Amino acid sequence: MRVALVAVVAAATLCLGACSSGQAPTPQAQSTAPIIAPGRPGEAARTISPDEAATAVPAPTANAADVKYAQDMITHHRQAVDMAILAPSRAHSATLKGLASRIKDAQGPEIQYMTTWLRQQGQQVPDHHADHAGMPGMATPAQLEALKAARGKDFDRLFLTLMTAHHQGAVTMSEQVLVGGSHIKIEELANDVSATQNAEIRRMQEMQAAL
């Protein structure tokens, strides 16, 4: 969306400049032509005015919502990785083991990305014992202990239940920062997290139904 809006606005500006060459006074850019703005994942495109287009591109500066999202999502992702690394030695299903491996391989680099971003903003990176009270989708200590103790199909069932809820929490957090955040890189990350984890939620629901 950002690239499309910038390209349209830039093209309109160049056209006005080119058409105004000569002795006639330079006209003011008063175009009222509508601009089509692509929607977020799952949303329809909408028509916006040129004035709206000027403010539709997210700012390169961070606000408190962006920082909180990155800090909380690091903690959230760490728990998902901790859960995923249990699967190779405990899961019965090879499909579940593959899913757990993909979760680990995707969320590990995202943790590093958010860590680097927070440091670039001069913000604190949460430690490995950061409080996650009230964070959506997080498994409780008792649930994690039960997962560690489970084996075979019992592990598969519990893992899918806990990880589905965990992913749903991450989607909720991403939806919130897309409304309240301002930094372009956090918007991009939140869109990626939402799309990836929604797809994995659907896959896990299919696997649960097959158990």
Query: pLDDT tens, 86-125?
Result: 999 999 999 999 999 999 999 999 999 999 999 999 999 9
Instruction: Determine the Cα–Cα distance for residues 162 and 140; give it in Å rounded to an integer.
Output: 10
Per DSSP, 136 falls in state T
Cβ pair 65, 176 in contact under 8 A: yes
Structure tokens at 204: 């896990």
At residue 28, φ and ψ (nearest 5 deg) are -85, 145
Cβ pair 183, 66 in contact under 8 A: yes
Per-residue pLDDT of the chain in tens (211 residues, 90 and over written 9): 443 433 433 444 444 444 444 454 444 444 445 555 444 445 555 565 655 544 445 557 899 999 999 999 999 999 999 999 999 999 999 999 999 999 999 999 999 999 999 999 999 999 987 777 789 999 999 999 999 999 999 999 999 999 999 999 999 999 999 999 999 999 999 999 999 999 999 999 999 999 8
Dihedral angle sign, alpha carbons of residues 69, 178, 199, 154: positive
| 3-class state of residue 74 by DSSP | helix
Ordered by where they begin, the domains of the chain are: 2-56 (no CATH), 64-210 (1.20.1260.10)
- The number of residues in the chain equals 211
The model's pTM: 0.71
Instruction: Determine the Cα–Cα distance for residues 27 and 16; give it in Å rounded to an integer.
Output: 8
Question: In the prediction, which pLDDT does 193 show?
Answer: 97
Instruction: Sort residue 36 into left (φ over 0), alpha (ψ -120 to 50) or beta.
Output: beta
Task: Please give the C-alpha separations between residue 178 and each of 40, 107, 133, 181, in angstroms, as whole numbers.
Answer: 9, 19, 22, 6
Alpha helices in the chain (DSSP H): 2-19, 50-56, 64-84, 87-90, 94-120, 141-149, 152-180, 184-210
Cβ pair 76, 132 in contact under 8 A: yes
Per DSSP, 91 falls in state B
Question: In the prediction, which pLDDT does 192 show?
Answer: 97
Q: Which has the closest alpha carbon to 121: 45, 46, 183?
A: 183
Half-sphere exposure of 190 (CA within 13 A, CB side): 27
Question: In the prediction, which pLDDT does 90 show?
Answer: 98
Instruction: Determine the Cα–Cα distance for residues 176 and 153; give it in Å rounded to an integer.
Output: 35
